[in-house]
Amino acid sequence: MISVFGSANMDLVAYVDQAPKLGETVTGRAFHTIPGGKGANQAIAAARAGAEVAFLGAVGDDGFGIALRAVLVEAGIEVSLLRQLPGASGIAHIVVDGGGANSIIVVPGANGEVKSLTPADEAMIAASQALLLQLELPMEAVTEAALAARAAGVPVILTPAPSQPLPDALLDAVTLLVPNEHEAADLTGSTDPAQALDLLLDRVPEVVVTLGSKGALYGSRTGDRLRVAAIPVQAVDTTAAGDTFVGALAVARAEGLVPAEALRFASVAAALSVQKAGASTSMPHRAEIDAAR
């Protein structure tokens, strides 16, 4: 089982030909309300890729919270520890342009109230094959979850997004760090992804730097270095590409695939996701991934 401790947001997605500049108004082509959030996205991606998944986090007691819980249940995810808190659920305002690129504003809502683990959360993490973390929950809670996993010998996979400084206590507990090239640059000061990867390996045992249409770089402290090409496709919406990649990568690692095979599996899943609109709605099922590998 893979545990995901993270955010659940309702994505409010506007599709436009050209994203508006500051102060500019443009006419959109379509609007959709889609369950998302980096935590929920990674949980759904991992479940559809073939894993048993438990989701730990919070939603509000509003209509969005009901819908977010329902989509997780529909994906077969264990939600017994998903908290329902008074007030609003998290939301994300997303603008997707004609090339599939996106810009996002996240309002945390209930996610911002998850400031510590419960004993049941700790027990679930300890029973897992891996713990997936992101940074849309308060940093103190993310760090506590990472430390609980490390204490139980559970690998920790961290997506350092939204980009922000990472405390030493969190990095010390991370097994695999998966930044995109911009997050890697923020963390290291280097805009060269290969150099950033090497610098990050001073802090964590394994790193994957995702490069969008240019693929991904992998490195480990044992000296392994890999570059995996992206699968060439016509992107419709890249919103969920990174989360799909991480969720699928966690499944591949849990199944014992070597790094090259695991990265290929994750890359195929991400490529399939960008060919559909939305976040959770775009994530491929295992049969689709296997057919495209």
| Catalytic residue annotation | 243
On the 0-12 / 13-18 / 19+ scale of CB atoms within 10 A, 18 is exposed
CA pair distance 150, 228, nearest whole angstrom: 28
Q: 229 near 219, Cβ under 8 Å?
A: no
Q: 268 near 283, Cβ under 8 Å?
A: no
| Side-by-side strand order, sheet with 216-220 | 82-85, 53-60, 2-5, 130-133, 156-158, 176-177, 206-210, 216-220, 225-228
**Structure tokens of 236?**
């419709």
CA pair distance 169, 275, nearest whole angstrom: 38
CA pair distance 102, 116, nearest whole angstrom: 31
CA angle (273 as vertex; 269, 277 as ends), nearest 5: 175
